[in-house]
Amino acid sequence: MAAEDIRPSRKKIIYPISAKFRNYLWNHGREVTLPVSYGDLMRMTFSVPLKDKNGRDTGWEKVLYDSSEWEHISKGLLETYSRLKTEGDLSFTRHLEVARIDYCTFGNSHPFRIRIVNKFNDNYDHYYIKQADASRAYGLELEHILSPNRILFYTYKSTLVEEHIAGIPGDVFIHSYMQDPAFNKIRFAKEFIKFNERCFIRLLGDMRAYNFVVEVTPDIEDFQYRIRAVDFDQQSYEGRMNLYRPQFFKDNKPFVDLALKHLNQASIEQYQTEERTLIAYRIITSKRRLMDLMNAMSGDELAPKEKVEELKTALDQHFQTNYYTKCATMGDIVKRHMKFTLTRNLKSLIESMKGD
Protein backbone atom coordinates (compact mmCIF):
# COMPACT_ATOMS: atom_id res chain seq x y z
CA MET A 1 0.00 0.00 0.00
CA ALA A 2 1.34 3.41 -0.95
CA ALA A 3 -0.15 6.87 -1.32
CA GLU A 4 0.24 8.86 -4.53
CA ASP A 5 -0.80 12.36 -5.57
CA ILE A 6 -3.52 11.20 -7.98
CA ARG A 7 -6.63 13.16 -8.84
CA PRO A 8 -9.74 12.38 -10.89
CA SER A 9 -10.97 14.48 -13.81
CA ARG A 10 -11.79 18.06 -12.87
CA LYS A 11 -15.17 17.93 -14.56
CA LYS A 12 -17.03 14.68 -14.93
CA ILE A 13 -19.51 14.29 -17.78
CA ILE A 14 -23.09 13.85 -16.57
CA TYR A 15 -24.79 10.97 -18.37
CA PRO A 16 -28.59 10.71 -18.62
CA ILE A 17 -30.42 7.64 -17.36
CA SER A 18 -31.13 5.34 -20.30
CA ALA A 19 -34.51 3.75 -21.04
CA LYS A 20 -33.25 0.30 -20.02
CA PHE A 21 -31.77 1.55 -16.75
CA ARG A 22 -34.93 3.55 -16.00
CA ASN A 23 -36.97 0.40 -16.52
CA TYR A 24 -34.72 -1.38 -14.01
CA LEU A 25 -35.18 1.48 -11.51
CA TRP A 26 -38.94 1.36 -11.98
CA ASN A 27 -39.10 -2.42 -11.48
CA HIS A 28 -37.11 -2.18 -8.24
CA GLY A 29 -38.99 0.75 -6.72
CA ARG A 30 -36.38 3.42 -7.38
CA GLU A 31 -38.19 5.41 -10.10
CA VAL A 32 -41.18 7.21 -8.59
CA THR A 33 -43.26 10.31 -9.30
CA LEU A 34 -41.98 13.19 -7.18
CA PRO A 35 -43.77 16.48 -6.46
CA VAL A 36 -40.67 18.67 -6.83
CA SER A 37 -37.72 18.47 -9.22
CA TYR A 38 -34.11 19.61 -9.39
CA GLY A 39 -35.22 22.18 -11.98
CA ASP A 40 -37.79 23.61 -9.54
CA LEU A 41 -35.07 24.19 -6.94
CA MET A 42 -32.87 25.96 -9.49
CA ARG A 43 -35.36 28.85 -9.59
CA MET A 44 -33.85 30.48 -6.51
CA THR A 45 -33.89 34.29 -6.28
CA PHE A 46 -31.12 34.91 -3.75
CA SER A 47 -28.30 33.10 -1.95
CA VAL A 48 -26.08 33.68 1.08
CA PRO A 49 -22.71 31.91 1.59
CA LEU A 50 -22.68 29.48 4.51
CA LYS A 51 -19.73 29.61 6.93
CA ASP A 52 -18.66 26.93 9.39
CA LYS A 53 -18.36 27.57 13.14
CA ASN A 54 -14.86 28.97 12.57
CA GLY A 55 -16.02 31.40 9.92
CA ARG A 56 -14.58 29.47 6.97
CA ASP A 57 -16.40 29.12 3.68
CA THR A 58 -18.11 25.71 3.39
CA GLY A 59 -18.76 25.75 -0.36
CA TRP A 60 -22.51 25.78 0.37
CA GLU A 61 -24.97 28.64 -0.03
CA LYS A 62 -28.32 29.14 1.68
CA VAL A 63 -30.85 29.80 -1.09
CA LEU A 64 -34.12 31.73 -0.96
CA TYR A 65 -37.16 31.70 -3.22
CA ASP A 66 -39.91 34.06 -4.26
CA SER A 67 -43.03 33.69 -2.11
CA SER A 68 -45.00 32.59 -5.17
CA GLU A 69 -42.61 29.62 -5.55
CA TRP A 70 -42.06 28.78 -1.90
CA GLU A 71 -45.46 27.26 -1.08
CA HIS A 72 -45.16 24.72 -3.92
CA ILE A 73 -41.49 23.97 -3.20
CA SER A 74 -41.78 23.54 0.59
CA LYS A 75 -44.89 21.36 0.28
CA GLY A 76 -43.20 19.23 -2.38
CA LEU A 77 -40.04 18.85 -0.29
CA LEU A 78 -42.02 17.62 2.73
CA GLU A 79 -43.86 15.11 0.54
CA THR A 80 -40.53 13.92 -0.87
CA TYR A 81 -39.14 13.52 2.64
CA SER A 82 -42.18 11.44 3.61
CA ARG A 83 -41.52 9.22 0.59
CA LEU A 84 -37.96 8.62 1.85
CA LYS A 85 -38.82 8.05 5.49
CA THR A 86 -42.44 6.86 5.89
CA GLU A 87 -43.38 5.32 2.55
CA GLY A 88 -45.32 8.46 1.62
CA ASP A 89 -47.45 8.71 4.78
CA LEU A 90 -48.15 12.47 4.82
CA SER A 91 -49.73 12.46 8.29
CA PHE A 92 -46.27 12.86 9.81
CA THR A 93 -45.53 16.04 7.84
CA ARG A 94 -47.91 18.13 9.95
CA HIS A 95 -45.27 18.77 12.57
CA LEU A 96 -42.37 19.10 10.09
CA GLU A 97 -41.10 22.10 8.18
CA VAL A 98 -38.40 22.90 5.64
CA ALA A 99 -35.96 24.92 7.73
CA ARG A 100 -33.36 25.60 5.04
CA ILE A 101 -32.28 24.76 1.51
CA ASP A 102 -28.55 24.82 0.76
CA TYR A 103 -26.95 24.71 -2.67
CA CYS A 104 -23.40 23.49 -3.31
CA THR A 105 -21.36 24.96 -6.15
CA PHE A 106 -18.46 22.59 -5.50
CA GLY A 107 -18.09 19.27 -7.35
CA ASN A 108 -19.95 17.72 -10.24
CA SER A 109 -23.52 17.23 -9.09
CA HIS A 110 -24.26 20.72 -7.65
CA PRO A 111 -26.61 19.24 -5.03
CA PHE A 112 -29.30 20.83 -2.91
CA ARG A 113 -29.29 19.87 0.77
CA ILE A 114 -32.72 19.99 2.38
CA ARG A 115 -32.93 20.55 6.14
CA ILE A 116 -36.13 19.21 7.73
CA VAL A 117 -36.99 20.21 11.31
CA ASN A 118 -39.50 18.76 13.78
CA LYS A 119 -41.43 21.76 15.13
CA PHE A 120 -42.16 19.99 18.46
CA ASN A 121 -38.60 19.20 19.51
CA ASP A 122 -36.29 20.97 17.00
CA ASN A 123 -34.78 17.66 15.91
CA TYR A 124 -33.52 17.91 12.34
CA ASP A 125 -32.63 15.70 9.40
CA HIS A 126 -31.24 16.21 5.90
CA TYR A 127 -31.60 14.77 2.44
CA TYR A 128 -30.30 15.75 -1.00
CA ILE A 129 -31.74 16.53 -4.40
CA LYS A 130 -29.35 16.27 -7.36
CA GLN A 131 -29.19 15.92 -11.11
CA ALA A 132 -29.98 12.35 -12.12
CA ASP A 133 -26.55 11.30 -13.37
CA ALA A 134 -26.54 7.65 -14.51
CA SER A 135 -23.05 7.04 -13.06
CA ARG A 136 -24.20 8.12 -9.63
CA ALA A 137 -27.42 6.11 -9.78
CA TYR A 138 -25.45 2.98 -10.77
CA GLY A 139 -23.03 3.67 -7.92
CA LEU A 140 -25.84 3.99 -5.38
CA GLU A 141 -27.50 0.78 -6.56
CA LEU A 142 -24.22 -1.17 -6.51
CA GLU A 143 -23.60 0.15 -2.99
CA HIS A 144 -27.04 -1.07 -1.94
CA ILE A 145 -26.50 -4.57 -3.35
CA LEU A 146 -22.81 -5.22 -2.68
CA SER A 147 -21.88 -3.29 0.47
CA PRO A 148 -22.89 -3.84 4.12
CA ASN A 149 -25.08 -0.73 3.81
CA ARG A 150 -28.62 -0.23 2.53
CA ILE A 151 -29.21 2.95 0.53
CA LEU A 152 -32.40 5.00 0.17
CA PHE A 153 -32.67 6.93 -3.09
CA TYR A 154 -35.22 7.69 -5.80
CA THR A 155 -35.11 8.96 -9.34
CA TYR A 156 -37.74 10.87 -11.27
CA LYS A 157 -36.91 11.93 -14.82
CA SER A 158 -33.83 14.17 -14.45
CA THR A 159 -33.99 14.35 -10.63
CA LEU A 160 -32.22 12.19 -8.04
CA VAL A 161 -33.19 12.16 -4.35
CA GLU A 162 -30.79 10.68 -1.77
CA GLU A 163 -30.94 10.12 1.96
CA HIS A 164 -28.28 11.70 4.16
CA ILE A 165 -25.57 9.23 5.19
CA ALA A 166 -24.54 10.07 8.73
CA GLY A 167 -20.97 9.76 9.95
CA ILE A 168 -17.72 11.59 10.60
CA PRO A 169 -16.17 12.87 7.34
CA GLY A 170 -12.89 11.07 6.67
CA ASP A 171 -10.81 14.26 6.62
CA VAL A 172 -12.36 15.40 9.93
CA PHE A 173 -11.69 11.96 11.40
CA ILE A 174 -7.98 12.26 10.51
CA HIS A 175 -7.56 15.59 12.26
CA SER A 176 -9.91 15.20 15.22
CA TYR A 177 -10.28 11.52 16.15
CA MET A 178 -7.12 9.57 15.33
CA GLN A 179 -5.29 11.00 18.34
CA ASP A 180 -8.07 10.05 20.75
CA PRO A 181 -6.77 7.58 23.40
CA ALA A 182 -9.91 5.47 22.82
CA PHE A 183 -9.16 5.11 19.11
CA ASN A 184 -8.62 1.43 18.27
CA LYS A 185 -5.92 1.58 15.61
CA ILE A 186 -6.00 -2.10 14.66
CA ARG A 187 -9.76 -2.30 14.23
CA PHE A 188 -9.77 0.83 12.11
CA ALA A 189 -6.87 -0.42 9.98
CA LYS A 190 -8.83 -3.61 9.34
CA GLU A 191 -11.87 -1.62 8.19
CA PHE A 192 -9.76 0.53 5.86
CA ILE A 193 -8.42 -2.62 4.17
CA LYS A 194 -11.96 -3.93 3.73
CA PHE A 195 -13.22 -0.58 2.41
CA ASN A 196 -10.33 -0.43 -0.05
CA GLU A 197 -11.28 -3.91 -1.28
CA ARG A 198 -14.99 -3.00 -1.65
CA CYS A 199 -14.18 0.03 -3.77
CA PHE A 200 -11.77 -1.81 -6.07
CA ILE A 201 -14.03 -4.81 -6.68
CA ARG A 202 -16.98 -2.69 -7.85
CA LEU A 203 -14.74 0.08 -9.31
CA LEU A 204 -15.95 3.01 -7.22
CA GLY A 205 -13.49 5.85 -7.74
CA ASP A 206 -12.40 9.06 -6.03
CA MET A 207 -12.63 7.89 -2.45
CA ARG A 208 -10.56 10.71 -1.05
CA ALA A 209 -11.07 11.29 2.67
CA TYR A 210 -13.83 13.87 2.28
CA ASN A 211 -15.87 11.54 0.03
CA PHE A 212 -16.50 8.96 2.76
CA VAL A 213 -17.59 9.00 6.38
CA VAL A 214 -16.67 6.90 9.42
CA GLU A 215 -19.35 5.33 11.62
CA VAL A 216 -18.19 4.58 15.17
CA THR A 217 -20.18 1.98 17.13
CA PRO A 218 -19.54 1.12 20.80
CA ASP A 219 -18.89 -2.60 21.16
CA ILE A 220 -17.94 -4.98 23.96
CA GLU A 221 -15.06 -3.22 25.76
CA ASP A 222 -14.20 -1.15 22.66
CA PHE A 223 -15.40 0.38 19.38
CA GLN A 224 -16.12 -0.89 15.88
CA TYR A 225 -15.66 1.22 12.75
CA ARG A 226 -17.31 1.24 9.36
CA ILE A 227 -16.28 3.42 6.42
CA ARG A 228 -19.13 4.42 4.13
CA ALA A 229 -18.88 6.11 0.74
CA VAL A 230 -21.06 9.20 0.40
CA ASP A 231 -20.11 10.33 -3.12
CA PHE A 232 -20.85 8.06 -6.07
CA ASP A 233 -20.19 10.40 -9.01
CA GLN A 234 -17.05 8.45 -9.93
CA GLN A 235 -18.60 5.03 -10.29
CA SER A 236 -16.49 3.41 -13.06
CA TYR A 237 -15.75 6.67 -14.88
CA GLU A 238 -11.96 7.09 -14.81
CA GLY A 239 -9.30 5.31 -16.86
CA ARG A 240 -6.54 5.20 -14.23
CA MET A 241 -6.81 2.00 -12.21
CA ASN A 242 -5.42 3.43 -8.97
CA LEU A 243 -8.27 5.95 -8.79
CA TYR A 244 -10.42 2.99 -7.70
CA ARG A 245 -8.16 2.14 -4.75
CA PRO A 246 -8.44 4.53 -1.78
CA GLN A 247 -4.94 3.52 -0.61
CA PHE A 248 -3.37 5.53 -3.43
CA PHE A 249 -4.88 8.92 -2.58
CA LYS A 250 -2.57 11.33 -0.81
CA ASP A 251 -5.47 12.47 1.41
CA ASN A 252 -5.72 8.93 2.82
CA LYS A 253 -2.04 8.56 3.70
CA PRO A 254 -2.66 8.61 7.50
CA PHE A 255 -4.98 5.59 7.08
CA VAL A 256 -2.45 3.81 4.86
CA ASP A 257 0.37 4.45 7.36
CA LEU A 258 -1.84 3.14 10.16
CA ALA A 259 -2.53 -0.11 8.27
CA LEU A 260 1.13 -0.65 7.38
CA LYS A 261 2.20 -0.06 10.97
CA HIS A 262 -0.33 -2.33 12.68
CA LEU A 263 -1.06 -5.09 10.15
CA ASN A 264 1.24 -7.65 8.58
CA GLN A 265 0.78 -9.00 5.05
CA ALA A 266 -0.99 -12.16 6.23
CA SER A 267 -3.55 -10.10 8.15
CA ILE A 268 -4.12 -7.79 5.18
CA GLU A 269 -4.76 -10.77 2.90
CA GLN A 270 -7.09 -12.29 5.49
CA TYR A 271 -9.22 -9.12 5.67
CA GLN A 272 -9.31 -8.82 1.88
CA THR A 273 -10.53 -12.41 1.64
CA GLU A 274 -13.13 -11.78 4.33
CA GLU A 275 -14.52 -8.85 2.35
CA ARG A 276 -14.56 -10.73 -0.95
CA THR A 277 -16.43 -13.57 0.76
CA LEU A 278 -19.05 -11.18 2.14
CA ILE A 279 -19.52 -9.59 -1.28
CA ALA A 280 -19.86 -13.05 -2.82
CA TYR A 281 -22.63 -13.84 -0.29
CA ARG A 282 -24.48 -10.68 -1.30
CA ILE A 283 -24.15 -11.53 -4.98
CA ILE A 284 -25.64 -14.99 -4.39
CA THR A 285 -28.58 -13.62 -2.40
CA SER A 286 -29.27 -10.82 -4.93
CA LYS A 287 -28.27 -12.69 -8.09
CA ARG A 288 -31.29 -11.79 -10.24
CA ARG A 289 -31.31 -8.13 -9.25
CA LEU A 290 -27.58 -7.75 -9.85
CA MET A 291 -27.87 -9.51 -13.21
CA ASP A 292 -30.62 -7.09 -14.30
CA LEU A 293 -28.51 -4.15 -13.17
CA MET A 294 -25.37 -5.31 -14.97
CA ASN A 295 -27.32 -6.02 -18.18
CA ALA A 296 -28.48 -2.40 -18.19
CA MET A 297 -25.06 -1.05 -17.21
CA SER A 298 -23.20 -3.01 -19.90
CA GLY A 299 -25.22 -1.28 -22.62
CA ASP A 300 -24.80 2.28 -21.31
CA GLU A 301 -22.15 4.86 -22.13
CA LEU A 302 -20.75 5.94 -18.76
CA ALA A 303 -17.31 7.27 -19.71
CA PRO A 304 -15.43 8.52 -22.79
CA LYS A 305 -14.12 5.72 -24.99
CA GLU A 306 -10.48 6.58 -24.25
CA LYS A 307 -11.09 6.06 -20.50
CA VAL A 308 -12.65 2.65 -21.17
CA GLU A 309 -9.61 1.63 -23.22
CA GLU A 310 -7.19 2.95 -20.60
CA LEU A 311 -8.87 1.11 -17.72
CA LYS A 312 -9.21 -2.28 -19.39
CA THR A 313 -5.56 -2.09 -20.50
CA ALA A 314 -4.45 -1.19 -16.97
CA LEU A 315 -6.42 -4.08 -15.45
CA ASP A 316 -5.02 -6.55 -17.98
CA GLN A 317 -1.50 -5.38 -17.16
CA HIS A 318 -2.13 -5.46 -13.41
CA PHE A 319 -3.45 -9.02 -13.43
CA GLN A 320 -1.21 -10.16 -16.32
CA THR A 321 -4.14 -11.38 -18.38
CA ASN A 322 -6.16 -10.48 -21.46
CA TYR A 323 -9.48 -11.06 -19.69
CA TYR A 324 -10.66 -7.45 -20.10
CA THR A 325 -9.70 -7.01 -23.77
CA LYS A 326 -13.18 -7.48 -25.23
CA CYS A 327 -14.92 -5.03 -22.87
CA ALA A 328 -16.67 -2.29 -24.84
CA THR A 329 -18.13 -0.22 -21.97
CA MET A 330 -17.45 0.59 -18.34
CA GLY A 331 -20.38 -1.67 -17.46
CA ASP A 332 -18.66 -4.54 -19.24
CA ILE A 333 -15.50 -3.86 -17.25
CA VAL A 334 -17.33 -3.78 -13.90
CA LYS A 335 -19.12 -7.03 -14.72
CA ARG A 336 -15.93 -8.82 -15.79
CA HIS A 337 -13.92 -7.35 -12.92
CA MET A 338 -16.33 -8.66 -10.30
CA LYS A 339 -16.30 -12.06 -11.97
CA PHE A 340 -12.50 -12.11 -12.19
CA THR A 341 -11.90 -11.06 -8.57
CA LEU A 342 -14.70 -13.07 -6.94
CA THR A 343 -14.89 -16.35 -8.91
CA ARG A 344 -12.91 -18.33 -6.34
CA ASN A 345 -15.02 -17.01 -3.45
CA LEU A 346 -18.28 -17.66 -5.29
CA LYS A 347 -17.26 -21.23 -6.15
CA SER A 348 -16.28 -21.95 -2.54
CA LEU A 349 -19.58 -20.62 -1.22
CA ILE A 350 -21.64 -22.53 -3.77
CA GLU A 351 -19.78 -25.74 -2.98
CA SER A 352 -20.26 -25.26 0.76
CA MET A 353 -24.00 -24.65 0.24
CA LYS A 354 -24.25 -27.90 -1.76
CA GLY A 355 -22.56 -29.69 1.10
CA ASP A 356 -25.10 -28.32 3.58
Per-residue pLDDT of 110-125, as tens digits, reads 899 999 999 999 999 9
More confident call, 93 vs 259? 259
Residue-level pLDDT at 209: 96
Q: Between the CA of residue 28 and those of 21, 143, 248, 317, 351, what are the distances in Å?
A: 11, 15, 35, 37, 30
Per-residue pLDDT of 45-91, as tens digits, reads 999 999 888 888 888 999 999 998 999 999 999 999 999 998 878 88
Q: How confident is the prediction for the chain on average, in pLDDT?
A: 94
Mean pLDDT across the stretch 316-345? 96
Q: Is 221's pLDDT higher than 90? A: no
Per-residue pLDDT of 169-216, as tens digits, reads 999 999 999 999 999 999 999 999 999 999 999 999 999 999 999 999
Task: Give residue 249's pLDDT band: very low, low, confident or very high (50, 70, 90).
Answer: very high
Residue-level pLDDT at 2: 60
Task: Give residue 302's pLDDT band: very low, low, confident or very high (50, 70, 90).
Answer: very high
- Closest to 24 in 3D by CA, of 221, 297, 306, 317: 297
Residue-level pLDDT at 261: 96
Residue-level pLDDT at 9: 73
Task: Give residue 348's pLDDT band: very low, low, confident or very high (50, 70, 90).
Answer: confident
Q: Could you tell me what percent of the chain has a pLDDT over 90?
A: 84
Residue-level pLDDT at 54: 83
Query: 61: which strand partners?
Result: 49, 103
Q: Are 18 and 293 in contact (CB under 8 A)?
A: no
Mean pLDDT across the stretch 81-102? 90
Residue-level pLDDT at 22: 97
Q: Is 356's pLDDT higher than 70? A: no
Q: Is 311's pLDDT higher than 60? A: yes
SS3 of the chain: the string is CCCEECCCCCCCCCCCCCHHHHHHHHHCCCECCCCCCHHHHCCCCEEEEEECCCCCEEEEEEEECCHHHHHHHHHHHHHHHHHHHHCCCHHHHHHEEEEEEEEECCCCCCCEEEEEEECCCCCEEEEEEEECCHHHHHHHHHHHHHCCCCCCEEEECCEEEEECCCCEEHHHHHHHCCCCCCCCHHHHHHHHHHHHHHHHHHCECCCCHHHEEEEEEEECCEEEEEEEECCCCCECCCCCHHHHCHHHEHHHHHHHHHHHHHCCHHHHHHHHHHHHHHHHHHHHHCHHHHHHHHHHHHCCCCCCHHHHHHHHHHHHHHHCCCCCCCCCCHHHHHHHHHHHHHHHHHHHHHHHHHHC
Residue-level pLDDT at 191: 98
Task: Give residue 262's pLDDT band: very low, low, confident or very high (50, 70, 90).
Answer: very high
Task: Give residue 92's pLDDT band: very low, low, confident or very high (50, 70, 90).
Answer: confident
